[in-house]
Structure 1
């Protein structure tokens, strides 16, 4: 499929981003989103990894909007029931249906709903395989994917002044590499082996969806938010605050390093340029706590308290300095001290004997 025209962008902007501010807005503040949209819906045909979809199955961008509308309005239907409604009068292969299903969910909710592999060992904080099963409703998929995140934190982490979690400190002091992601489920996901931290950077997407539900309760659940064709306000709000209050506090005095780092990521990793613009959309409650991302933020705090090794040599020493190894080294050190002490005594006695014999020879 060819990229959307300006008129089609306006339709996508209105339905998927809930913005109806005209073509100029669609071409500016939503630039990062449309780059992502095109990479998913109309990728480069030269890419061998791309599954080519027949014209009869996905003809226009209006089809994408139609499938997204059916998805949101029928959240209690299973995956098979949803796709059946999509292609009730069309012929499509199972591969085409699965591809379109992943693509539509991706551009509508910025979620990869068909993770084939589990995350690497060492990644936790409520992380699980995110897969929309065939007999599972979309609403249940969302709940089982995000709600376990709230159980990963002992207590909801307060907003506070988490200065140790600034992105530039994580990168410079602890050797953590920041990587942008288009998958909201990967936000704040830290891989201890690769020492990488994933950041969902689509600030414009977060703000536009927050505006759409700004008059509703912050704690509105998945069922209610799905009827509004969006995600729960708290989830979106926490994500935006984690960017602008924790990782890149550009609103604070002395935020030059944070802004500089953001500009670097915008240039090198195509971060959303709108991330440089601070707007929370909603007022921040005085007792606000992170319920969705609290566990992952706690994980990062642990990393700053016990920094990972910066190279393989330090890593080897850390792996071989367990409590048992430390006790062994201590006993060995004590044993060597005793041996060296005995050798010192023997040398001292030998020196006394030599001195006594020399004195005796001198008297003779």
Structure 2
């Protein structure tokens, strides 16, 4: 582990990560996956090397995401106290530390990192230290993370974050975020699903027909998560990030290097497979639905580059997201009641729709009956008026 970077102490800025240059994005790319970018690309010139990965990187949406969450970082500006993140380089250093020491407890990592910085100022507050590490974990693993004493992270990330406790390591935290459901109870071969009790298709088209809405999420932990009350299914859409992790795993395996995975390979495979093979099969109506989500739903355009076959096997055992796929399958077969009227009916879809059709028919019959009664009353009134006030003839008789 190289010595931590020493950054000259400058006047604290309320938004130290607000300004982002292309060089920062390249360093982020190198830090996350260990790629070597050629000097020409670093000087923003035409790429001079065929092996340089920078031109083929399709991470524009992810980089925009990085800009959004880092530019809003605000340190606790306490007099004579340094900020936890003084620059983007500090954030990269924390990511490198996490990758180098994934089995060390969080509290020890934070103490090691901030005690090694020498800028003649007091260490950052514990809350600021927590926020810096949470931000690094968010960028590195695509998991919204929170320290033990940070309830406000819920507001910052817009979702309920996962707790990374001080007495646990990053490896333990990731293991808890993606628990295994069993030895691959759900097996998917191409677009053919085989599982006990798994009957209907769960393509995006089928989910939409069942009244579900697909929503983009940047938290991989929430991938395929269904909110039964609102009928929203969250989809992790930064497929470029998944592919970079899988590419790095392939390269490290061929080179027999000790690559520290940001995202577990099995998790990345299941997420990518579920998007490109299960939910949005190429050339289908669901594929067109994916195009609409990219155009109007904020999905990463990289989702439209179908290349799962380059990374994973045709037969995939779902060890992490299998239960969620089965839940979606059950929801397609027997949609949960939503709305005021549907809550009146039974949960079983077939019976519910029969009762709903009968109920609607009765309502229509009542309305038609009332209209007929009104017409009959009006006709009787007209007849009565004609009898009571007979018309006078032309001759006055």
For residue 69 of structure 2, what is the aligned residue in structure 1? 40
Equivalent position to 2:243, from 195, 207, 213: 207
Tell whether 2:294 aligns with 1:266. yes
Tell whether 2:34 aligns with 1:4. no
Q: 1:284 to 1:140 in 2, by over 3 A?
A: closer
Aligned equivalents of 2:257, 2:296: Cα separation in 1: 34
* Residues 230 and 338 in structure 2, CA contact (< 8 A), matched pair in contact too: no
Aligned equivalents of 1:183, 1:265: Cα separation in 2: 17
Per-residue CA deviations over 1:328-352 (Å, capped at 9, x if unaligned) read xxxxxxxxxxxxxxxxxxxxxxxxx
For residue 29 of structure 1, what is the aligned residue in structure 2? 58
CA shift, 1:318, in A, is 1.7
TM-score by length of 1: 0.72
Q: What pairs up with 1:277-316 in 2 under 5 angstroms? A: 277-280=305-308, 282=310, 284-309=312-337, 311-316=339-344
Q: 1:73 to 1:112 in 2, by over 3 A?
A: same
Q: Judging by fraction of residues, say which structure has more helix.
A: 1
Aligned equivalents of 1:30, 1:170: Cα separation in 2: 28
Tell whether 2:123 aligns with 1:91. yes
Deviating beyond 4 angstroms after TM superposition, the runs of 4 or more aligned structure 1 residues are 17-28, 224-227
Tell whether 2:41 aligns with 1:14. no
For residue 185 of structure 2, what is the aligned residue in structure 1? 155
For residue 170 of structure 1, what is the aligned residue in structure 2? 207
Q: 1:52 to 1:260 in 2, by over 3 A?
A: farther
Tell whether 2:279 aligns with 1:247. yes
Q: 1:228 to 1:316 in 2, by over 3 A?
A: same
Q: What pairs up with 1:306-345 in 2 under 5 angstroms? A: 306-309=334-337, 311-318=339-346
Aligned equivalents of 2:109, 2:70: Cα separation in 1: 19
Structure with more contact order per residue of length (Cα contacts < 8 Å, sep ≥ 6): 1
Aligned equivalents of 2:111, 2:186: Cα separation in 1: 40
Q: What pairs up with 1:57-68 in 2 under 5 angstroms? A: 57-68=84-95
CA shift, 1:232, in A, is 2.1
Q: 1:312 to 1:290 in 2, by over 3 A?
A: same
Per-residue CA deviations over 1:183-202 (Å, capped at 9, x if unaligned) read 11000111111111110000
* Residues 9 and 26 in structure 1, CA contact (< 8 A), matched pair in contact too: no
Which secondary structure does the structure 1 equivalent of 2:233 belong to? strand
Between Structure 1 and Structure 2, how many residues are aligned?
294
Tell whether 2:135 aligns with 1:103. yes
Aligned equivalents of 1:279, 1:303: Cα separation in 2: 29
Q: 1:268 to 1:20 in 2, by over 3 A?
A: farther
Structure 1: any 5+ residue segments left out of the alignment?
44-49, 118-127, 218-223, 322-364
TM-score by length of 2: 0.66
